[in-house]
Structures are given as structure tokens and as C-alpha cells.
Structure 1
Amino acid sequence: MQPMLRLIRLRLADFRSWSSLDAGFDAAIVAIAGENGVGKTNLLEAISLIGPGRGLRGARMGELGRRVDGAARPWAAAGRFDTPAGAFDLGTGSHPEGTSDRRVFRLDGQPLRTQSELADRVAAVWLTPQMDRLFQEGASGRRRFLDRLAWALEPTHAREVAAHDNAMSQRNRLLAQGRGDARWLAGLEDAMARHAVAATAARRALALRLNAVMASGAATGVFPAARMELVCPIAAALAGQPALAVEDALRVALAADRRRDAAAGGAARGAHRADMTLVHVPKDQVAEICSTGEQKALLISTVLAHAALIAEARGFAPLLLLDEVAAHLDTARREALFAALAALPAQVFLTGTETEVFRPLRGIADIVVARPGILLPAGETGSP
């Protein structure tokens, strides 16, 4: 099955290690091989930035431009996408006059005002080697992973999270300054409660729908069935009460917490306190106590199921960006992964250090080799 959304051309200018690039892609699976340090992950990061959010590294603007004589240059990344409704061009980068720390976006050459407009067009989900530590580190990384999945299902989710965090920051500032304007604080707490419940409802809806897909096993192949569980008092409340009742209770609790939150320097309740875990269903074991290999398999199951879910729900699957995902899989699991990817209605970009790893994909994927500043078809590099 051909993917419903395909990146068919990627252009870069002064992005990370790439001074320039103009590459076309024809296949549903693109495998990029190359030695460490040649810029493979940078390519995936560029693709991840042609959409909402801060990309797979969560980098700041000043970190993205290619450095020349110690200074970062203005950068740009643009993609042409093909869909059943026709092709379109999306681009992002630093302000051409260097007057802003915010990224600029263009759709078919016209400025976009919000990232929500991007989310209507494209979505991307990724796995990177850094995510191998997802279940050993703090909740913030798991929450970002959860929100990326939710954004692809509900484009307005990013706006709800941002609105909650903005209201919370203003409330924190007022409390820290000892400014006790009750009406002002009440207004901010009302915004926090509304947006926290909306954001949590989107997270909960994602988990319920994703779990149904993973339970069926249709999209995950031989990878173990996983179940996503939210660790969140607001989500627990939504399971048994109407959203308006949960909003009211949160609003009251925030007002009661003002003195405590002022002393602590932040809100003890809200959407920013959510966490999640995955359960290895066959072993009935949470990911935190699974082996590293099992955790990787659970994440792969989740991403495969998510791609299938989004394809059904939104009419296009997210781009899958899998950085060195096959490195720690045995031969059987690696070939099973490739078979599952080939069956998905999604375009996939894979990286690895050796072309040999991608041998089972020959005839299915575009296999290219990355060398400093250039991408070459594997057959033109002397690779076997």
C-alpha cells in the first residue's frame, strides 16, 4: 500500500552539518546508511522540524544553523509532500533577517501564523537511541512522547498544552511576586483548568484508541502487545466524571493551593504533572522493569500501531523517523520490523551504519549512503 502522505523532496541550507542538500525520494521506505558523524540524524531532525514542535532533539534555534567561524548561519529546511489531494511545499527556518529567535514557516510560499496549521498537513513520530532511556528518566520526556502521539491524532492538542502552560507560567509569576489579585489569579486558574482538562482528554482518547489497535495485533506483527497507561489524576477523574465537573474541581483545588504553590515555586496540579508508561501485556509487566530490548520492542509496537491509527483517523499516516532502530534487534526481529514497516500506510525513514543491515529491503526501499555533504544511491558508492 502506498503511503497517503509522502515526502518526495527535501532541501536544506546551512542546517547543522549540511551546507546544502536537494534530495528526492520515491519509495515508501528510505534507508540511509553511513558512518557515525556524517549527518544521518541531522537529516531526520530536519524532516521532524517541517511540522509542529521542536523536532526530535528539542533543540533551540541557535543550535540548528551550520556553524562557520564559530557563528551559526541562518538555516532553512523545506519539503515537498505528495498526497491524494495534490502536492504542497512546506518550509521552515530562521528569520531571513535574523531578527527573531522564532522559526518562520511557509506553505506554498505563503507565511503560516501558527503551528496548528502545520499539524493539519503533516505529522511525524520518531524513535531515537536517546529514547532507550525513556523509562529510566523523568516524566517530562515521556510526556513529550505522549503529546507527539496526541498531536498527530488531534492537531489542536498542541494549542491546548501551550495555553495551559502559558496560564500556569503567569500564575507562577504572580504567586512568586506575592501579588494576590484574586480576580487575576482566578482567571488564570480558570484557563489552566479548562486547558488541562482538554489536553488530558486528548491524551486519554489517544491511549484508549491506541490500546485497541495494539490489542488487535494487526499492525505490530511479532512485536509484543503493549498497553499505554496514563499516570495522571486528571485522566483518572475523567474516567468517572463529566469534563465540566473535573474542570470545576481542578479550579477549586488550584485556588486552595495558592499558598503551597507559592512556597514550592510551581503548581502541584495540572496537565504538566501527567506521566505515562507502557505495559508488556504478555508478561503483565510495566516497561520500567523490562529489559532494554523489551522496552525497545514496546516502543516499536506503539509507533507501528500509532501509524495505523492515524492513517485511519486522519486520512494520512505520520512520517516515521527511526534512527538506528535496528541496531539492537536480532536478525529475526529486524526482518519482522522491516516486514511490518512495508505493510504500513506510512512513509518511513531509517538510519543505520551499514547498508548490509538493510539488505532485506532491497527492491522495496530507496537505500542511500550518506557521506559528508552528500547523499548517494547505495549502488553508486561501491557498497555491496
Structure 2
Amino acid sequence: MTAARIRRLTLNNFRSYRAQQLAITQRLVVLTGPNGAGKTNLIEAISYLSPGRGLRRATLSEAAFTEGDGSWAVSVQLEGALGLATLGTGIEPPGTMPTETRKCRIDGEAVGSAAAFTDHLSVIWLTPTMDQLFMGPASERRRFLDRFALAIDASHNARVSALERSLRARNRLLEDPRPDQKWLDAAEHETAELAVAVAAGRSETVRQLSAALARRHDDSHFPAARIALEGALEAGISSRPAAEIEDDYRAVLKANRARDAAAGRTLEGPHLSDLKVFYAAKGIAASDGSTGEQKALLIGLILAHAQLIADMTGQAPILLLDEVVAHLDPSRRRALYDQLDRLGAQVWMTGADPAAFADVSARADVIDVSPGRAQRAA
């Protein structure tokens, strides 16, 4: 088992950093400093080395340094699945390109998208905003699951985006009191194909993640969750041919045209599915657990996912854990560090209190972060 390792991180005009470079020597990287200093900005930069919009889901222009020209760039020197490589991504100044486009390069050569980075590394993260995952809307859990699916199948994100575009196109057609039936048929044909592909990807991810959760050792600190995908299409994915499910969904779309037109949106499909999470040992929904139990279940899911990626690819992913230890008691904190050691991944952790990392600081790169600057602790 190997692990992807970032050896050097370089930022230019990214968030609060005009220019910043960090040399990394350890598997554990601890970023400490006061709130608002820019710790999360550093790990957000790394999150752009995966498909999607990064851990904050910001627009590309929002990541630019406020006093810069609107461009930004992030690059890493990496020991990854294909050996040593330099990965880079960023945007040009406004007006340089017809539309805001993220450029991606590997060893100086342009690649089509950030999906190409997945040949070299996987990146997963846990942020404070995810603490409300089990209590929040289904859309957040779908997005959470899609990040999991993306780490297993690099093309999943493109299918989800294509489905969203196809649904919007159908909705626009339905705004016409007398829509062209041939155009609607074509739109629904495409929508059904994409919907089944997305549902199948999510279902396979849940299947594999469920198996990974079952393999986890009994752990009172981060108890195992039981997960299930709730949705009409997903219910038949494992037992019926995809073509048959597509035909059924096209029939549903056609039958619901008037209702969907009145609602202004498509009322059935995988864009409304939900990831159900349960506290397995107690047999209760995760949303009914205490705040501490929900946090522990969430960490357990992230750890299981990281182990699944390692088992499937032979390489542990890079973990970005934003303020993850801030609300853990000392025993849970030590348990987390023990599990991270067993995983063997490179882990970037942020926190305002250096004392929270006392158990690992001797074997970590500890970086002091102040506004616009990050440097190795003395």
C-alpha cells in the first residue's frame, strides 16, 4: 500500500496569499493559527486538485487574491500513483478567456480537465460545514455522496453535471405553452440515459461503501454507520436492466409534463434522491443522534471512504481535515490519530489551538499561519 504525498505546495494570487510556497517532509501536516488567518485557504487550494469546485464550492473568481489581477494558480510537486509529477490548476485574468475557465496542467502539459488529476491522486475532505449533514437538506447529502462516487469513478462528476444541464433544458422547453414534442422527446431520452447512469454510480458507491463500513472494526469512538440510497430509480438498479429502467423513467417524464410544467421543475428523478444514514449500533437515524454522535459517525464515514479508496487503488488518498479535532475530547482525538496512522495517508489538519495536536506534533510538519503568510513552526 502506498500513499500520495505532496512534497511542495505553491500558491499565486490565491485567496489571502499573493505568493506562498510550502515544502512538506512529513505524512502529517498541521496548520495552526488564529481564526481567519488563512488555514482553510491552504487546504482549499489542495482541494482544487480534484474535479469540482473545491471544498468551499466557490466560484473560480472568488478564489482570487483580492489585490491581484483576478487570476490565480495552485501547483504541487507530488509523489502519486504514477510517480513524481507536478500538477497545476488556475484561471487567467478576467477577459483573457471568453468564459471563466479553469486550466489544468500535468508536468507542464495542458490536460482537458481536473479529472486527469485522479490518475495521480485522490483528495477527500471534512469541513465544519459538513457537521450539519444529517440534519440538512437532501441536496447536501447527494453532494456528499457524489464526492465519494467521484473518488471511485472520475467521470461521475461529468455525468451529474450533464444530468443537471439536461433537466434544465427540459424545464425550459416545458415553459412554452405548446412545446415542440420532438424536442421534448429528445430531451427526455437524454435525461433518462443520464439519470440512470448517475443513479447507478451512486448505487455502486453505496454498495462498496457499505461493505467498507461492515469491515471496520468495532469502534466506540467512531461507530459504524449503515447507509442506504433512497430513490425510485435507485431501487431497481441492482435487479433490472438499465435499458428497462430508462424506458420506465422516460414514460414517467412524459406522463408528468403538465405537472412538471406547473411546478417549474422536474418532480421525479435522481436529482431528488437522498442518502440515508443510520447509527448502526443503536438502530436510529443519524439525525436523531447527539451532536457528538453525529460528528463521530461523519468521521467514521470519511475514514471508511479513505480506506475504500486505498483498498481499490492501492494508494491512500490525501485527507484534508478542517478543524476536525476542535470539538473532540482527548480520547477521541487520540483514536483519530491512531486510525490515521493505520491508514497511512498524508493528512492536512487545521486548528487554532496548537495544544490539540500535541500527540502528533513531534512527527508532523507544523505550519504557523498568519494573514497572508505560512511558515514552518520554530
3-state DSSP of counterpart to 1:369: strand
Is 1:318–2:317 an aligned residue pair? yes
Structure 1 partner of 2:302: 303
Structure 1 partner of 2:6: 7
Alignment CA distance shift 1:345-1:177 (3 Å): farther
- CA offsets per residue over residues 265-302 of structure 1, 9 Å max, x none? 11112221111122111111111111111111111001
Structure 2 partner of 1:257: 256
Task: Report the TM-score when normalising by structure 2.
Answer: 0.94
Structure 2 partner of 1:81: 78
3-state DSSP of counterpart to 1:67: coil
Alignment CA distance shift 1:282-1:72 (3 Å): farther
Distance apart, 1:223 and its partner CA:
1.1
Q: What amino acid sits opposite 2:337 in the alignment? A: F
3-state DSSP of counterpart to 2:307: helix
Alignment CA distance shift 1:84-1:173 (3 Å): closer
Structure 2 partner of 1:90: 87
Structure 1 partner of 2:31: 32
Distance apart, 1:179 and its partner CA:
5.0
**Alpha carbons 1:119, 1:151 under 8 Å: kept:** no
Q: What amino acid sits opposite 1:43 in the alignment? A: L
Give matches, 1:79-228, under 5 Å: 79-83=76-80, 85-96=82-93, 98-99=96-97, 100-218=99-217, 222-228=221-227
**Alpha carbons 1:4, 1:83 under 8 Å: kept:** yes
Gaps spanning 5+ residues in structure 2: where? Answer: none
With 329-338 and 124-133 compared, the bigger mean Cα shift is at 124-133
3-state DSSP of counterpart to 2:324: coil
**Alpha carbons 1:77, 1:92 under 8 Å: kept:** yes
With 215-224 and 81-90 compared, the bigger mean Cα shift is at 215-224
Distance apart, 1:219 and its partner CA:
9.6
Alignment CA distance shift 1:166-1:84 (3 Å): closer
Structure 1 partner of 2:265: 266
Q: Percent identity?
A: 41
3-state DSSP of counterpart to 1:38: coil
Counterpart-to-counterpart distance in 2, 1:101 and 1:54: 13
Counterpart-to-counterpart distance in 2, 1:72 and 1:198: 40
Aligned residues: 376
Counterpart-to-counterpart distance in 2, 1:118 and 1:84: 10
Structure 2 partner of 1:347: 346
- CA offsets per residue over residues 176-201 of structure 1, 9 Å max, x none? 13352222211211111111111111
Gaps spanning 5+ residues in structure 1: where? Answer: none
Counterpart-to-counterpart distance in 1, 2:163 and 2:244: 18
Structure 2 partner of 1:43: 42
Counterpart-to-counterpart distance in 2, 1:361 and 1:108: 33
CA RMSD of aligned residues (A): 1.8
3-state DSSP of counterpart to 2:58: coil
